[in-house]
Amino acid sequence: MNTVRSYKDLIVWQKSIDLVVLVYAATKQFPSDERFGLSSQMQRASVSIAANIAEGHGRGTRSDYAHFLDMANGSVAEVETILTIARKLSHCSSEQCSTIEKQLSEIGKMLGVLRAKLRPRA
């Protein structure tokens, strides 16, 4: 079994960094008038997923960690919502949108598993 010494060892954090790269590539294709709108919001929300995983891991308690994982999961929903809008506005290709959606789904599931492991034991 692999020991997690750092948040960087977490596959969910690694996948969230990959997501940021995908989001930046997709938003680069958005119209220039979206630079400070959907594009910026989607980029910040995707960064927030990785940042909250890292910050939560660095906290001293399980409850703090769980709280930050909940915030990361909220950011997953935010990116999904912005992606839905971008798709409806034809700002990203179907392929790009699908790739990001798959990554978001996987990250969301992984966050759920990690979050469940932090629940207090009865």
Note the pLDDT of residue 3: 73
Note the pLDDT of residue 119: 77
Say if CB 47 and CB 20 are below 8 A apart.
yes
pTM: 0.92
Note the pLDDT of residue 5: 82
- Below-50 pLDDT ranges, the chain: none
Domain 7-116 fold is: de novo design (two linked rop proteins) (1.20.1440)
User: Could you tell me the residue ranges of all domains in the chain?
Assistant: 7-116
The DSSP annotation for 16-65 comes to HHHHHHHHHHHHTTS-GGGTTTHHHHHHHHHHHHHHHHHHHHHSSSHHHH
Note the pLDDT of residue 2: 63
Distance CA 120, CA 42 (A): 33
Note the pLDDT of residue 121: 61
Output the CA angle 74-48-118, nearest 5 degrees.
60
Distance CA 91, CA 105 (A): 20
